[in-house]
Amino acid sequence: MFLTINGLAKAFGDLEVLKDIDLEIEKGKVLSIMGPSGSGKTTLLRCLNALELPDNGVFSFEDGLTLNFDKKISKQDALRLRRKSGMVFQSYNLFPHKTALENVTEGPIIVQKRNKTEVRELAESLLEKVGLKDKINLYPHQLSGGQQQRVGIARALAIEPELMLFDEPTSALDPELIGEVLTVIKDLARENWTMVIVTHEVQFAEQVSDKVLFMDNGYIVEQGPPEEVLKDPKEKRTQQFLQRILNPS
């Protein structure tokens, strides 16, 4: 098991966003998280990346790293957690004044202090991998939303993370651009990347996921294989949510 989480909780003031979350993330598997707005999906993802620090809970990694958030963790431990994952944001978060290539090389060179020549070669291969070989010298404003998101995926891969995190990677895209991003993520799934994906794309989640998790009001309501959770959900709240998404009126 890549990561086991027990008793994760997170509040912002009086608002409890995550409540007693127990979760296992398997190495080389894809976990998709679904649920209505405000259910805690993005906060859970940000806790995995230490962009938000949990108030309570224990993270146990397969490499022996254990973080107990019932106590205050050190900045060094928060950094160790952050270094394990690459994050792909729904709004791309690219540097507007840097080219696609520079956006991808920034983290490995500036933060990880890796060899510039090696990083550039890696960045070029990653941009080719996501179908942007001919766009490496363009700036974000010269790229479509789908192309910008693919640069974001290449940037996350460039830091060579153990875990890839996607926060609704297609939500800011026009419908005709969604497919090109989902195709890249499907390719990563075939390469056995460990991934956690917050998504509202039911068909995509069904195709790419090893496990689907449904959240509501800060709790995990239901989880299991996609054919169970998405095709034959047991919980009424999951049934209502899927009915609304699949049959909007």
Residue 60's pLDDT is 97
The pLDDT value given to residue 249: 62
User: pLDDT tens digit string along 102-151?
Assistant: 999 999 999 899 999 999 999 999 999 999 999 999 999 999 999 999 99
Helices (H), the chain: 41-48, 75-83, 100-106, 116-129, 145-158, 175-190, 202-208, 226-229, 236-246
Question: ∠ CA 133-188-65 to the nearest 5 degrees?
Answer: 120
Q: Tens digits of per-residue pLDDT, 8-39?
A: 999 999 999 999 999 999 999 999 999 999 99
Q: For residues 185 and 10, what is the distance between their CA atoms, to the nearest angstrom?
A: 28
Instruction: Examine the pLDDT at 188 and tell me if it is beyond 80.
Output: yes
Q: Rounded to whole angstroms, how far apart are CA atoms 150 and 156?
A: 10
Confidence of residue 245 (pLDDT cuts 50, 70, 90): confident
Tokens describing residue 49: 């990346």
Looking at this protein, which amino acid is placed at residue 75?
K
Amino acid identity of residue 63, one-letter, is D
Over residues 165-177, mean pLDDT: 91
Please name each of the domains of the chain with its CATH number. 1-84+164-249 (3.40.50.300), 92-161 (no CATH)
pTM: 0.95
Per-residue pLDDT reduced to its tens digit, 60-100? 999 999 999 999 899 999 999 999 999 999 999 999 999 99
